[in-house]
């Protein structure tokens, strides 16, 4: 299959925001590359290269314009180049290695051997849905799960993307797990990734979710959707249950927390590299 590679260069934080928006706008996959000569020690003010993958029939200008509207960022000029599937696979495999989330949790692409045989390894390849563990917003939720998930918790992953949050919850001992997304590709990817990791969960569109409330609700989306979803996510969290929200810029964290204070003791729990995690306990 032929693809289009759409490349832009932006300041680091804007690049991360736009990469999420490109996925939401319909890009099949997005990668970030450092423009520094030595990526391990980037120069001050170094920019990131955003490389979005789109199907050959896509309209690159329309895709970038949609991402600009979602992210409220003016994108710079971009370049477009054809890319054969094997070239994209080779690029992805050279770029993505094992990601250490904590001392006992790793996200490991299928073409790598887990670095620590004693650790919890989640097998996950970069692909057609957001969430490989490389983005700060995802890592914040994974670290939250390690310290706050209780064995047997009933968990909802709202906006599941690749399914990484639901899968890690299963690996850490959750009970019933439900994963949902408005994107059918994300649902299919989550189901496949869960099966590949031996995690049992249910995958459904939002309107087909199992009934009842959950002990823990996870949502790694963007600030505006999280604010709009506050009544729905609150209703899906049992009294005494908890919620963890990510995909939020530090500057937006207080506004997101305020949207949930009617039903939760909500607070900004963690901030890293300009991204925040909001958590709360349902009253």
Domain segments of the chain as ranges: 2-95, 148-282
Query: Of 198, 202, 200, 154, which is closest to residue 179 (Cα–Cα)?
Result: 202
For the segment 103-138, what is each residue's pLDDT rounded down to a tens digit? 778 877 776 777 777 778 887 765 544 455 567 888
pLDDT attached to residue 119: 77
Average pLDDT in the 157-184 region? 94
User: Given this model, what pLDDT does residue 139 score?
Assistant: 87
pLDDT at residue 160 above 50? yes
- CA distance to 36, 105, 137, 140, 219, per residue, from 279 (Å): 35, 21, 13, 11, 10
> Could you tell me where the beta strands, DSSP code E, fall in the chain?
2-11, 29-34, 47-55, 79-84, 99-100, 105-108, 120-123, 155-158, 177-180, 202-204, 214-220, 237-249, 264-272, 275-282
Q: How confident is the model at residue 40 (pLDDT cuts 50, 70, 90)?
A: very low
Q: What are phi and psi of 32, to 5 degrees?
A: -115, 135
Which one is predicted more confidently, 162 or 259?
259
Fold of 2-95: Alpha-Beta Plaits (3.30.70)
The mean-pLDDT minimum among 31-35, 87-91, 279-283 falls in 87-91
Region 132-157: mean pLDDT is: 89
Strand order in 120-123's β-sheet? 99-100, 105-108, 120-123
What's the confidence (pLDDT) of residue 239?
97
Mean pLDDT of the residues in the chain: 85
Distance CA 157, CA 199 (A): 14
Q: Are 237 and 243 in contact (CB under 8 A)?
A: yes
Q: What pLDDT was estimated at residue 61?
A: 95
- State percent of the chain over pLDDT 70: 86
Residue-wise pLDDT tens digits, 213-271: 999 999 998 899 999 999 999 999 999 999 999 999 999 999 999 999 999 999 999 99
What is the pLDDT confidence band of residue 17, given thresholds at 50, 70 and 90? confident
Spell 28-48 as b/e; 16+ CB within 10 A means b: bbbbbebeeeeeeeeeeeebb
Q: For 179-215, how does the pLDDT look when each residue is reduced to its tens digit (9 = 90+)?
A: 999 988 889 989 999 999 999 999 999 999 999 999 9
Q: Which residue has the higher pLDDT, 82 or 109?
A: 82
Instruction: Report the half-sphere exposure of 231 (CA within 13 A, side-chain side).
Output: 1
Give the least confident one: 4-13, 27-36, 120-129, 258-267: 120-129
Q: What pLDDT is attached to residue 240? A: 97
Task: Output the pTM of the full model.
Answer: 0.72
Q: How far is residue 156's CA from residue 148's CA, in Å, rounded to a whole number?
A: 14
pLDDT band at 92 (very low <50, low <70, confident <90, very high): low
Comparing 2-95 with 148-282, is the CATH topology the same? no
According to CATH, the topology of domain 148-282 is: Rossmann fold (3.40.50)
pLDDT at 83: 75
| Residue 88, pLDDT score | 55
């Amino acid at each position: 299959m032929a693809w289009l590679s759409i490349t832009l260069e932006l300041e680091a934080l804007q690049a991360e925001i736009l990469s999420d928006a490109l996925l939401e706008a319909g890009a099949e996959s997005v990668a970030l590359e450092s423009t520094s000569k030595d990526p391990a020690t980037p120069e001050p003010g170094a920019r990131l290269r955003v490389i979005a993958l789109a199907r050959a029939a896509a309209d690159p200008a329309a895709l970038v314009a949609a991402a600009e509207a979602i992210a409220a960022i003016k994108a710079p000029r971009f370049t477009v180049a054809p890319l054969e599937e094997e070239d994209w696979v080779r690029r992805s495999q050279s770029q993505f290695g094992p990601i250490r989330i904590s001392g006992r949790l790793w996200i490991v692409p299928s073409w790598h051997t887990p670095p620590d045989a004693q650790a919890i390894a989640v097998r996950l390849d970069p692909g057609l849905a957001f969430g490989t563990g490389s983005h700060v917003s995802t890592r914040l939720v994974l670290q939250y799960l390690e310290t706050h998930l209780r064995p047997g918790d009933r968990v909802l992953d709202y906006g599941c993307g690749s399914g990484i949050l639901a899968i890690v919850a299963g690996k850490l001992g959750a009970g019933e797990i439900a994963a949902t997304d408005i994107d059918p590709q994300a649902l299919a990817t989550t189901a496949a990734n869960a099966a590949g990791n031996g995690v049992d969960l249910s995958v459904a569109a939002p309107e087909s979710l199992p009934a009842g409330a959950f002990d823990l609700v996870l949502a790694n989306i963007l600030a505006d959707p999280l604010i709009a979803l506050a009544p729905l996510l609150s209703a899906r969290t049992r009294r005494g249950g908890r919620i963890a929200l990510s995909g939020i810029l530090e500057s937006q964290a207080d506004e997101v927390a305020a949207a949930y204070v009617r039903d939760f003791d909500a607070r900004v729990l963690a901030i890293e590299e300009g991204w925040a995690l909001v958590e709360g306990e349902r009253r």
